[in-house]
A and B are shown apart, each in its own frame.
Chain A
Amino acid sequence: MSNPETLILKEAADLHRFLQPIAKMCAIARTDHPYYRDASYILFTYLSGLINKTREYLEDLPQRPGKSPVIQHSIRQKLKLLRDSWGLLHRYIKPCLDADTLHIPIPLLDVLNDRLKLIPECEAFECAVFQLTAANYAMLPYYEVNSVANGIARRVNGEDFPRSLSLVGIPYSQSSGFFLNCLIPHEMAHFVYQEIMVTEVTNAVDSILNTHYPNAQDASDEFLETLSQIRGLINLWVEEIFCDLFAIALIGPAFSFAFAEMTSASLIIDTLSGNAKQSFEFGQSHPADVARFYLHKRHLDALGWWNQIKDWRSNSVDLLDHCCLVFGKTTLSNKIPPDVASQLKLQCFWDACDWLLGYVKRTVPASDKDIKHLADHYDVISKYLERAIVPSTIITESGPVYPTPVVLINSAFRFVLQDFDNLLKRVDMEPMNPVRERSWYTERLELWVLKALEDYRLLSASQEAK
């Protein structure tokens, strides 16, 4: 059997060799084509630095083999821990490398990042993107990357993960899309929540939980574990609602409409549908969709958006209204363990959301001007869109106007939800299959809006320069 020093040497070398090619990939990304957003370069540079520190630590191990067998064994276990931790970061490096500027919705990301920086304490935030194979959106929570990167860094004398850097995953196929990518603000919000709001919100939720679950004398370890699961679930659900409300503050009702498309939520108001049962269920990671739409509507109302959109002829608006009538029918999913479900009081969630609605309204300001400008400018923007004109500059009665990103984003949704036929009527082409036709022109519409968003940044910058 090899002696412990030899084993440490071999296992350190194994990990060193594992890291070598990852370091090369990060280095190439920083110096060669393709190009990335600044946030991605920050990430690659950080990872390169952390790899170097890990390798230095490994190279230093033969000089510090450990005094006793206990410590030698512990060092070997630490090597396994480092390897597992790097294995987790490894999962995200390739998806980040794949998300170069040709494969992400740059104009939308730029305006969203601009909007994010207007929120107090978010001025320095940058959002790096990675590609997901799942047709879903995700922000990597602290447990996934930041905590693990920091855990490695503190074990090898490296630097902490950049504080202002978030990682948002989008489906690899949606780089040129617009409508579904309006879910990205929700993912950005997870980062804001974890970086800035988590302590305040968790304390508020704990205080609500305390009233529903007073101290249980002589309770078993099992009960404490159940209570920790309940606390974990309520906090997860509340975080999701925070992110929804934050996204609405950032881009208005467009977020709710994108979410409705993503979840096929229109089935909820279909009286014949038995498939919408899951939309009423609180699951292991997300609150019930019906609860989310109900809270969306309350927030839209509080911000002044609801008056603006309530008369839109759209199933998505009806959905928000409908969920206010049926949210009381929400229940727990049977995937939640029975011992937890039997003791979980959903009222804690509703109490927390009552508090959260006020909290988000106070801390994440929405723009009243955008709501007014949407009312003022939509008719002109829709005329442009039905004629396939990019609405970067519109001519209004008061002169030329560059519609703001929030106005453009919500106008695009209103147009696709209620006025899209006006565009199709103007198409002077051989009749196509109606599904193919709608799909094709919706894609065109997405490109026009993305172009207008891109132009807005240039035009408003040039206006400021003057």
Chain B
Amino acid sequence: MEANTRYLTLALDVRAITDSLIEFVEDAKELPASDDLLRSFLNSLTVRTGASVKTLSDMGRFGNYESLKTINELFDADRKKELMNKLQAVSNPSSESRESSALEAITILDALEGTALYHYEHPSPEGRLAFAQ
């Protein structure tokens, strides 16, 4: 498998969340109530008490190495918490800052998508090696 294609899939998954946020801002359409992708993404941002295979499986599509590496590369613990708070604020109908939170979350997610695309377009030597085998 071409390892760097996982970065493209990561970018597409992030875009799915971003598009929901854009629809919220533009069309007042609520985020999907039971969205596995969003739940998995929030799990990947949550503060961990340990590290196990279950931790990874709870992250769903964001539990693979390429996703973890990109998220950790871009966000420290504070930034992860900030993004999680923004996304939870958008999901919460009683929050007063839903639209501004959505716009701020879009900016952060665009950075994540952009980094994933960068890795897709610029595979590491290890990634190229894996494909060549």
Contacts and interface: CB of A to CB of B under 8 A. Distances in A.
A62 to B, nearest CB: 15
B53 A88 contact: no
Contacts of B110: 73-74, 77
A237 B49 CA distance: 29
B74 interface: no
A236 B1 contact: yes
B107 interface: yes
A232 B130 CA distance: 13
Contacts of A288: none
A219 B8 CA distance: 28
Which of the four size classes fits the interface of chain A? 35 or more
A221 interface: yes
Given A73-B110, A228-B56, A283-B133, A81 B49 contact: no
Contacts of B89: none
A337 B127 CA distance: 11
A354 B16 CA distance: 39
Given A73-B110, A141-B1, A151-B13, A217 B53 contact: no
A18 interface: no
Interface string B101-121: 001001100100110010011
Contacts of B50: 215-219
Contact of A155 (B15, B25, B49, B129): B15
Nearest to B59: A228
A67 B120 CA distance: 30
A214 B133 CA distance: 32
B54 A71 contact: no
A39 to B, nearest CB: 22
Nearest to A220: B51
B69 to A, nearest CB: 6
Given A73-B110, A232-B65, A285 B1 contact: yes
A64 B117 CA distance: 24
A353 B31 CA distance: 42
A143 interface: yes
Interface string A112-154: 0000000000000000000000000000010110011001101
Interface in A28-84: 64, 66-68, 70-71, 73-75, 77-78, 80-81, 84
Chain A interface, DSSP helix/strand/loop, else mixed: helix
Contacts of A209: 53
B1 A224 contact: no
A281 B103 CA distance: 49
B19 interface: yes
A74 B12 CA distance: 13
B6 A225 contact: no
Given A68-B103, A228-B63, A337 B126 contact: yes
B22 A213 contact: no
B55 A224 contact: yes
| Interface core residue of A77, A151, A152 (most chain B CB under 10 Å) | A77
Nearest to A154: B16
A329 interface: no
Interface of B: 1-2, 5-6, 8-9, 11-13, 15-16, 18-19, 22, 25-26, 48-57, 63-65, 68-69, 72, 103, 106-107, 110, 113-114, 117, 120-121, 126, 129-130, 133
16 contacts: A70-B103, A70-B107, A77-B110, A78-B15, A80-B117, A85-B12, A88-B8, A143-B5, A144-B1, A144-B2, A144-B5, A147-B9, A151-B12, A215-B55, A228-B63, A228-B68
